Amino acid sequence: MAIDTERVQTIEEIEPFEAAEEIEGGDVVLIDTREPHEYQEAHLDGGKLVPPGVLADEIGTAAPDKSARTIVYCRSGNRSAIATAQLQQLGYENVASMSGGILQWQEQGLPVVSPSGMTPEQRERYSRHTLLPEVGVDGQVKLLNAKVLLLGAGGLGAPTALYLAAAGVGTIGLVDDDVVDASNLQRQVIHNTERIGMAKTASARIFIEGLNPDVKVVEHNGRLDASNILEVISDYDIIVDGADNFPTRYLLNDASVRLRKPVVSASILGFDGQISTFVPYEGPCYRCLYPTPPPAELAPSCSANGVLGVMAGTMGTLQANEVIKIVLGKGEPLVGRLLLYEALGTSFTELKVRRDPDCPICGEHAEEIPESEMGQFPDYDQFCAGAGGDR
Amino acid sequence: MATVRIPPVLRPKTGGQAEVEAGGADVGEVLRSLTGDYPNTQEQLFGEDGELNRYVNVYLNDEDVRVLQGLDTAVKDGDTVVILPAMAGGASRLAN
């Protein structure tokens, strides 16, 4: 846009303290001409956001009265000077730019609105998140308030926990009854050599708390079974399934459908991984995909067959990505899609997964479960008898 | 010819190959061609009744053949048939 240099030189500039007096006196239209992420971090009380790129289009809505006293500010005073000149060209009669911007305003101890309630340390820590329009301050606050349960603090759980903790997921629950073994360390990067023999939940807690003090770690040092699963998962928003055995996977599926909790589910073996996201009634459930578990010879375990360590990182971080998208409500989670990754060929394959109308758990004919039977589940060990998994 | 993607658990039965070529006009023929070439895959894919085992998912390209015409689903040259059993590996405990 061409700017009339004559007018640029003749705009009115006022100091922050002068602006503060005018604002306190009332009858001032206050325009914030920065980008949305800057506005979200902190702005002046009453400031209306009109980013520079859309000034001409949106100023009429924010400031309909061209004769009203209008004060424009930005970060340091440059963008607001340009905007003030533009507003004069658009016919605004009484507009001023606040010199020094919100930086000088804050230096002088004047108050700003921080909608997030994030601390200065959090604003610094998560600044690369809040810069993203898809996250922003609002999204970061959602992450800080999110509660995510990880089934397994092992191969898949380790990288998932690391990235969720770094991302500021406020509560991370860890279910595992195992202790750190030397053979875990080739892929379970949340543990280390010194902590061999320590409970995995305790070892993971040490790493997470060292990484990010914002995260509350809840240890569930045991196994999920029919007697405790509803109580454990009901406290969480999202469940991440990295379980090592079929009985737990089916139990988790059936319980999470009952409580309508999304489950991000992945598995790895050798150089192969698969991942999908099950959101009850929005997409298929685990039983729609796998109605019955395979026999043992078709379900060898990592401990019997081996797994490339980095597979845990690849699939675990994909799980973390799914969790973050669900928390933010952004993007397209893998609902109704199964993603296969084959590491030797570095190839990804996506398959469609449909809801099964005859699914005994989430299908059309699945029976409503009365409250009294909510915590009763079939015998999954029996159901999966002969099935694989290294239980 | 179609390309059949072999899951890791079946690769010992296909000489370690992750993909094999197999001919056939429909999914059933392609899979029977596979079991003809690699007989050890037969009992893991098909039950005694000749139907696919319920724990084995088969996809034609990206679609589950169960929502198509099952084993009768027509296969074109260059299609991919994916065989997919469930996996449970994750935390990878040592066997008790």
pLDDT at site A262: 98
3-state secondary structure A154-197: CCCHHHHHHHHHHCCCCEEEEECCCECCHHHCCCCCCCCHHHCC
Q: Which amino acid is at A213?
A: P
For the annotated catalytic residues of A, the residue numbers are: 302
List residues bridging with A277 in a β-sheet.
A264, A335
Nearest CA among A84, A112, A102 for reference residue A13: A84
Report, as an integer, the average pLDDT of B58-85: 94
Extract the tokens encoding A121. Answer: 């340390």
What per-residue confidence (pLDDT) applies to A382? 73
How does pLDDT run across A42-56, given as a tens digit for each residue? 899 889 999 999 999
pLDDT of A155 above 80: yes
pLDDT of residue B76: 96
Q: Does residue B16 come out as left (phi exceeding 0), alpha (psi in the -120 to 50 range) or beta?
A: left
Is pLDDT of A251 > 60?
Answer: yes
Please give the residue that has the higher pLDDT: either A320 or A5.
Answer: A320
Minimal C-alpha gap between A300 and chain B (Å): 7
Query: Among B54, B63, B64, whose Cβ lies nearest the Cβ of A292?
Result: B54
Q: Which of B82, B86, B91 sits opposite A351 (nearest CB)?
A: B82
The mean pLDDT value for A263-291 works out to: 94
Average pLDDT (A348-376) is 83
A389 pLDDT higher than 70:
no
Q: What is the DSSP string of chain B?
A: -EEEEPPGGGGGGGTT-SEEEE--SBHHHHHHHHHHHSGGGHHHHB-TTSSBPTTEEEEETTEEGGGTTGGG-B--TT-EEEEEE----SS-PPP-
Question: What is the spatial distance between Cα A51 and Cα B44, in angstroms, rounded to a whole number?
Answer: 62
Contact list, B46 vs chain A (CB under 8 Å): none
Residue A391, pLDDT score: 35
CA A298, distance to chain mean position in Å, is 35
Torsion of CA B35, B40, B44, B48, to 10 degrees: 70
Chain A contact present for B55, CB below 8 A: yes
Distance of CA B19 to the CA centre of its chain: 10
Which residue of B60, B93, B96 is the best one to mutate when testing the A interface, meaning the one whose CB has the most A CBs within 10 A?
B93
- Chain segment A125-149, per-residue pLDDT in tens: 999 999 999 998 889 999 999 999 9
CB contact under 8 A, B89 and A269: yes
Rg (CA), chain B: 14
Q: Rounded mean pLDDT of chain A?
A: 90
For the segment A108-133, the average pLDDT, to the nearest whole number, is 86
Q: Does B70 touch chain A (CB under 8 A)?
A: no
- ipTM of the complex, rounded to two decimals: 0.89
- As a whole number, mean pLDDT of residues A84-101 equals 95
B91 touches chain A (CB under 8 A): yes
b (16+ CB within 10 A) / e for A352-363: ebebbeebebbe
Q: Quick one: pLDDT at residue B5?
A: 95
Which pLDDT value is given to residue B43?
87
For the segment B48-64, the average pLDDT, to the nearest whole number, is 90
